[in-house]
Amino acid sequence: MSKKVENIGNTFTSAENKKKQQQRMRRKVVRKRVTLFGGILVAIIIILSIMLVTQMKSNDEATVERQHKEQKYQKQQDEELALKEELNNLNSKDYIEKVARDDYYLSNDGEVIFKLPGDKSKQQEKGSKQDK
């Protein structure tokens, strides 16, 4: 009882096969589109991630540079204040007189200055501090 089944070329069977073939083709097209758009999406995500990482690195470097410049600016501000104070002192007659007496052993009329043996070390210390 073995009979071979043959395809009858009627419209019902051929229409059903065409529908199945069209469904298969649609699935293939849909898969290709999903794969294409998925690949594009992945590429965009990778590019944006790279940009994000480079931007973060650049921001970190800029932050470090800004901190260094702020420190340098603060040092310059402190130096400026010290120089202004020294300028004010140099314009003061009392300060100039004090410096002349201490460093150069100058005296007023009728004063006598005695140089003691311990004065050399003090003068050398002052000289080394001024050199710095």
List, for residues 83-129, the tens digit of each pLDDT value: 999 898 888 888 888 888 778 777 777 777 777 787 555 555 555 44
pTM to 2 decimal places: 0.49
- Residue 75 predicted with pLDDT over 50: yes
Q: Which pLDDT score, from 0 to 100, does residue 116 have?
A: 78
Q: Could you give the residue ranges of the DSSP H alpha helices within the chain?
A: 11-90, 93-104, 119-131
**Residue 90 forms part of a structural domain:** yes
Across the chain, mean pLDDT equals: 84
* Domains of the chain: total: 1
The distance from CA 76 to its chain's CA centroid, rounded to whole angstroms, is 22
- Under a CB-based contact definition with an 8 Å cutoff, are residues 23 and 15 in contact? no
Domain of 64 in residue numbering reads as 11-106
**Residue 69 forms part of a structural domain:** yes
Q: CA 54 to CA 50: how far, in whole Å?
A: 6
Q: CA 73 to CA 90: how far, in whole Å?
A: 25
- Residue 132 predicted with pLDDT over 60: no
**Residue 26 forms part of a structural domain:** yes
**Residue 24 forms part of a structural domain:** yes
